[in-house]
Structure 1
Amino acid sequence: MPSIEKIRKALLGNNIDSDKINQLLGDDMNTKDINAIADSIRRLEKAFTHDETVDILSNCACCIGGQRNKDCRQFAKVNKDKALSEKVNLLSTVKWMGNPVLYTDGTIYTGIYGKENDIYKCPCWCLKGKLPNEPMSLTYCACCAGHFRYHYQNALGVKLKIKEIVSSALNSVGEKPCEFIYEIIED
């Protein structure tokens, strides 16, 4: 989840003035209130372009170290001589890396399809079952898209840009899965 503290750090990293950050995020850096975070996301969306907001939030990605990082780096070593299409197909064998698909236009599509009682669940471990009072903006999910981008870049050996956040469990109130499209910006 893009916590207020992580968003604040990302904004500082983009040389945003502290006063503006306080206007956007408020004073409580440790809030875990999903509705307060949703309000902050809406203020970010008004203050920055869509691409800027996605960039800020994608840099708040969690779980980029640890075992997932080790597994993706090992995958890269083992598969370094394979074609990109083969690597993308094999990436689903790495735990927690989804089922990516390389489209003919060169984009990579992936998603998270966990359901409970026929409702898609948000995989954000920080939410702990909490839902906002209204559908969350798709932009919120740039954090999770940043998580996959980080690991896919390491595993595939290509630089990726988030092209689109197609859908999310939070935005659709459980009717749709979390789905992302990435474009390769260099091989």
Structure 2
Amino acid sequence: MTDTKHYNYGTEVVEFFKHDDEALRKFIAQREVDYFRSSESLLHPQLGVQVSWSSDQPMGVALKDLTELLLKGYKVVTAYSKPLDFNVQLRKPDSVIDSDLIKIVEQAKADYTEERYVRNVDETKRQIAFTVAREMREAETAAAKATADRLTTIQDNALADLLAAYSKPTKPKSKKVDAVTA
């Protein structure tokens, strides 16, 4: 089950890292663990099984707001009060947790697909760089060999020309032989 509609597999990107159901299950399981460890707050808006609720309202107003959340199914995990603030750690109702987990699974699938695509893009670029570097080395080696062969040919031709130009003319030996016999 590979989602290739949005991604350019086969045209611009090679799919080195194929879809793996086991890896996806592990990815989703890790996201669920993170969800159960997290707590939503104004500073940390990610989904979490708990909600950090605080109020700087007077205690009566804060308790009224808190009661509304409790009636919706939230459960108090911890509560503490500072001189000007009232803070409560709430656990979400099971129905909210179930809907959050559905969102987490959908987001994890999308993130897994995106992460896999990014890894494939990076690996494609890396493999292309290897191929280009190898072919450049081969081309440089071939060019160096051709240059060396051409240099050897030029040197051999130059030596032959110099030998021909500066060699002493040889006299025929037969004339010396004729003079001796006479």
TM-score between the two structures when normalised by the length of structure 1: 0.23
More helix per residue: 2
Larger Rg: 2
